[in-house]
Amino acid sequence: MGDRGFPLSHWRLKEHVDEILRARLGKEYPAEGVGRNWTDRFVERHHLKLKTYNPKALEGVRGQAVNPTTHQAWFDLLGETLRTGDNGKPIAEDCIWAADEAGFQAATGTSQERVIGGANKKVQHQTRGGTRENTTVIVTIGADGSSLPPAVIFKGQAYQTAWKQENPANASIGHSVKGWTDGEIGALWIQHFDKQTRAKANGRTRLLIVDGHNSHYTREFLRYAREHNILVLCYPAHTTHLYQGLDVVVFSVLKRYWSEERDRWEREHGGTVNKQNFLAVYGAAHIRALTPAVIKSAFEKTGVCPFAPERINPKALAPSLETSTQATLPIEPPTPVK
């Protein structure tokens, strides 16, 4: 897993071990799984092959993560995968995919549209209704300029039929207690991705590039991908602002159109954006934003397709030059735990 950008944490290793033993032992296997310190002892027993290493604090890591060593390692891995990933053959352009999630709140936006009011007024107020509750959208784009219908994750305990009213982007709908993707939703999503791209791949290997979100590397997610000829590659940690086309290009366009469509809806309907009309409002923005030109630009500007590491401006690596000591992919741990 580590060589594809998914290094195991202790709790993720425990998850894998528990699942294997539960499959072998059935009801005889204890519900709590292996002991609290089992993974530490496992690493210690196999210290010649396994090592642990200290994570960086989240604050400020982006500047240090994008260093020349990480940069070289990422494009070495990506290049090798693109050249030989389809059973020794190059992965076809129409089989290269990238996916990520973005959050949308009805009460916020980035619209900077100017409004007109009386000359003697210092401030013009625009009514902003809706809720600050987060709705997650999983967006999937292809290097050939195509895209898949979005997957929308509402916050809720159960599915409500009222959510699926007008749905111009033909979005699939899910729900979670907190309103974002989790391991269970991730496992369902990879199956959905497979069904939507299988015919187009026609037996060829598909490359799916994602970030390191926990939902992308559960055992079930990766097992399903492996068994269905989907090669999953992960960006180096804290570098999506530079390497991920959705972050670099698509989401800024999408958020701008989302703000415009939300404002238009509120003006024309006199109501607020909520779960019942979210698909209509978001769908209009999604269709406007995800054009073939925008999608292809996302892959081009990040050096993925066409493969071109030089598309990344060397100045973007400058903040980390003095603090960089080792690569993030693959990670070289310091010393074994004993």
User: Which sequence spans correspond to the domains of the chain?
Assistant: 51-107+129-320
What Å distances lie between residue 208 and 31, 143, 197, 290, CA to CA?
A: 34, 11, 11, 18
**Pairwise CA distance, residues 335 & 148, whole Å:** 44
DSSP label at residue 126? -
pLDDT of residue 45: 77
Measure the CA–CA gap between 71 and 61, rounded to whole angstroms. Answer: 14
Domain with residues 51-107+129-320, CATH architecture:
2-Layer Sandwich (3.30)
The values of phi and psi at residue 333, to 5°, are -65, 155
Residue 24's pLDDT is what? 72
Q: What is the reported pLDDT for 89?
A: 98
Q: How far, in Å, CA of 51 to CA of 44, rounded?
A: 8
Contact yes or no for 66/323 (Cβ under 8 A): no
Q: Where are the beta strands (DSSP E) in the chain?
A: 96-105, 134-142, 151-155, 172-176, 206-210, 230-234
How open is the CA angle 67-206-182, to the nearest 5 degrees? 70
Which SS3 state, helix, strand or coil, does residue 152 take? strand
Show the tokens assigned to 128: 């902003």
What local confidence, expressed as pLDDT, does residue 262 receive?
A: 94
Work out whether strand 134-142 and strand 151-155 pair parallel, antiparallel, or are unpaired.
antiparallel
What pTM does this model have?
A: 0.73
Cα maximum dimension of the chain = 78
Per-residue model confidence (pLDDT) at position 54: 55
Q: Based on the number of CB atoms within 10 Å of its own CB, is 70 exposed (0-12), middle (13-18) or buried (19 or more)? A: buried
Q: Give me the residues of the chain with pLDDT under 70, please.
A: 1-12, 14-16, 36, 47-49, 51-65, 107-132, 162, 177-182, 213-217, 318-338
pLDDT at residue number 181: 59
Q: Which residues pair with 104 in a beta bridge?
A: 135
- pLDDT the model gives residue 42: 80
CB 103 within 8 A of CB 180: yes
Give the model's pLDDT for residue 172: 92
Local structure of 305: helix, strand or coil = coil
Which pLDDT does position 37 carry in this prediction?
A: 74
